[in-house]
Chains A and B, each alone.
Chain A
Amino acid sequence: MLSPARAWREYPQRYRLEASRCTECGKISYPPRVVCPGCRGRQFETVTLSREGTVVTFTVVHVPPAGFEGQAPLILALVELKEGARTMVQLADVPDPSQVRIGMPVRLEFRKIAEEGEAGTIFYGHKAVPA
């Protein structure tokens, strides 16, 4: 389970979809990297990703892990955003997993991701929903 401290450090990417663009080769990394996987460059500028993309692939989890109880079936999707960056997100607002298709257009929406029980903090971030 995510810790509140780690979630807090990752707010820019989790809350605002901030990614890093390599000033050397232009490759966009999300989540942001320290070293560019394309050219090993270390200079980046911050870009905000658009919230539109398509499903590259997906899997259905019928027994969700702790913190995600009550969300079965949990659909996890690899989504490619317009800028080319790929991110693994939950696919929400799809009552029947058999409706999911590779190539399906989706939109990222701000959602509750998990919570540390009834007394702990609530983690927020983005999920994909059918566009």
Chain B
Amino acid sequence: MKVGIIGYGAFIPRRRIKLEEIAAVWGADATSYKRGLQLHEKSVPGKDEDTITMSVEAARRAFLRSGGVEPERVGALYIGSESHPYAVKPSGTVVGEALGITPVAHVADLEFACKAGTEGMYLAHSLVKAGEVSYAMGIGADTSQGAPGDALEYSTAAGAAAFLFGADEDRILAEVVATYSWTTDTPDFWRRVHMHYPRHGSRFTGEPAYFRHITSSAKGIMERTGFEPKDFAHAVFHQPNGKFPIRVGKRLGFTMEQLETGWLSPWLGNTYSGASPMGLTAVLDIARPGQLILLTSFGSGAGSDSFVFRITDRLPEVQELAPITRVQLDNDKIYVSYGQYASLRGKIRMGE
């Protein structure tokens, strides 16, 4: 039985802040940050946008591309995020109710730093493959924050990507060829209970965390499937900044041509659980039948999920049925000042 993605959608808030705007507030050198992180601007959620609202919109777009799957037939819904609006009360219940997936469905919120989105995809795919449900949805969404002035503040962004999985042969857009996960206990990034902003182990976040997990997971799935980098049309890796995904891709043997389609971070920032899944939506927007796609996420703590997809003949028929990810990224932008950004993100202490 073939199982794969039968619908996908992305949502990017319209607001953006330029890197120079942040650097100016902290007296930092914007040019060296831009060169060092390869970041130009990032998305900023409005006061009325959060993980729940972005998940609903991304999911509605996935349904638009699903060939008319009725929401009540979706048997499982997973929302991966590290910025669920409630500490206790699931995001998934609101999203499920808004989509019409509830009440007969298995619903759960997932957390694993930046890889919670691919976890949801992993579970959704597995449940369909096991025959437990006909359709299952995995969503990655975040409105993450870095402490004011911290290096993370230049990258933490907002966005969501949703994927509907199913086994209807005539609906599959991208067949899942294989999955692979690689996980260790690595203290590179964390946020304790009641803390507003996360902490990170500075240099520790690079080699032993991001690079080690992504290369191990990507090499693992290529060994398992017998594919080599040259077999893939596109490869998407987690995007904490503009620089890392290209560096890890080249180290694994991929070319710029294979990496650039899913490389959104220079203009989007790091959307955490949404990051590599949103990169995948940009690839699905233009991929052609028969092409192979590699997706490898990374979540601090730490772990990497990998997927190999094979594009079917159906994908080109649905690409234009919902907003294209690059079009959302490049158009209708509303630029905000640091003052507006600080207010939107609740960084200003208000009177009681």
A residues touching B (Cβ–Cβ < 8 Å)? 11, 15-16, 70-71, 90, 92-93, 95, 109-113, 122, 124, 127, 129-130
Partner of A92, one of B46, B97, B98: B46
| Those of B89-134 within 8 Å (CB) of chain A | 94, 97-98, 100
Q: For B48, what are the chain A residues with a Cβ–Cβ distance below 8 Å?
A: 71, 90, 92, 111-113, 127
Give every chain B residue within 8 A of A92 (Cβ-Cβ).
46, 48
Given contacts A95-B334, A124-B52, A124-B53, contact A70 B98 (CB under 8 A): no
Evaluate contact between B53 and A110: CB separation under 8 angstroms: yes
Instruction: Tell me if B343 counts as interface (CB < 8 A to partner A).
Output: yes
Rank and list the top 5 A-B pairs by shortest CB-CB distance, nearest first.
Answer: A110-B56, A111-B48, A15-B98, A112-B48, A110-B53
Assembly CA distance A71 to B46 (angstroms): 10
B50 within 8 A of A: yes
Q: A124 to B98, Cβ gap below 8 A?
A: yes
Q: Would B100 and A112 count as touching, CB distance under 8 A?
A: no
B47 at interface (Cβ–Cβ under 8 A)? yes
Assess whether A112 is in contact with B47, with CB atoms less than 8 Å apart: yes
CB distance from A108 to the nearest CB of B (A): 10
- Check if B326 is an interface residue, CB within 8 A of chain A: no
* Min distance, Cβ B92 to any Cβ of chain A, angstroms: 13
Q: Complex: how many Å from CA A115 to CA B98?
A: 18
* Those of B20-61 within 8 Å (CB) of chain A: 46-50, 52-53, 56-57, 60
A15 touches B97 (CB 8 A): yes
A70-B100 contact given A109-B53, A124-B53, A124-B94, CB 8 Å threshold: no
What is the minimal beta-carbon distance from B156 to any residue of chain A, in angstroms? 19
Q: Is B85 located at the chain interface by the 8 A CB criterion?
A: yes
- Nearest CB in chain B to that of A122: its residue: B85
User: Does B14 belong to the interface (CB within 8 Å)?
Assistant: yes
- A130, B98: Cα distance in complex, Å: 21
Q: Tell me, in angstroms, the Cα distance from A111 to B94 when the chains sit together.
A: 12
B49 proximity list for chain A (CB < 8 A): 111-112
Taking Cβ atoms with an 8 Å cutoff, the residues of B that contact A are 14, 46-50, 52-53, 56-57, 60, 85-86, 94, 97-98, 100, 332, 334, 343
B85 A71 Cβ-Cβ under 8 A: no
How many angstroms between the C-alpha atoms of A124 and B46 in the bound complex? 14
Partner of A112, one of B53, B57, B97, B332: B53
Contact sample, A vs B, 26 pairs, CB 8 Å cutoff: A15-B97, A15-B98, A16-B98, A70-B47, A93-B14, A93-B334, A95-B334, A109-B53, A109-B57, A110-B56, A110-B57, A110-B98, A111-B48, A111-B49, A112-B47, A112-B48, A112-B49, A112-B52, A112-B53, A112-B85, A113-B48, A122-B50, A122-B52, A124-B94, A124-B98, A129-B14
Select A122's contact among B57, B86, B334, beta carbons within 8 Å.
B86
Provide the bound-state CA to CA distance between A127 and B334, in Å: 17
- Complex Cα distance, B60 from A16, in Å, reads 11
Query: Of A16, A71, A95, A111, which is within 8 A of B53 by CB?
Result: A111
B345 to chain A, nearest CB (A): 11
A residues near B97, Cβ cutoff 8 Å: 11, 15-16
Q: How far is the CB of B162 from chain A (nearest CB, A)?
A: 13
Chain A residue nearest to B100 in the complex (CB)? A16
List, in ascending order, chain A residues with CB within 8 A of B52's CB. Answer: 110, 112, 122, 124
| A10 to B: closest C-beta gap in Å | 12
Complex contacts, B86 vs chain A, CB 8 Å: 122
Name the CB-closest residue of B to A95: B334
Closest Cβ of chain B to A69, distance in Å, is 8
Chain B residues lying within 8 Å of A129, measured Cβ to Cβ, are 14
B94 to chain A: closest residue by CB: A124
Chain B neighbourhood of A16, CB < 8 A: 97-98, 100
* A109→B9 CA distance, assembly (Å): 14
In the assembled complex, the Cα of A70 lies from the Cα of B85 at a distance in Å of 18
Closest chain A CB from B103 CB (angstroms): 12
Bound complex: CA of A93 vs CA of B52, how far in Å? 17
Bound-complex Cα distance A16 to B100 (A): 7
Closest beta carbon of chain A to B88's beta carbon, Å:
12
A70/B53 in contact, CB under 8 A: no
- Which residue, of B53, B97, B332, has the highest number of chain A Cβ atoms within 10 A? B53
Q: Measured between alpha carbons, how far is A129 from B332 in the docked complex, in Å?
A: 11
- Min CB gap B14→A, angstroms: 5
| Minimum CB–CB distance for B58 against chain A, Å | 10
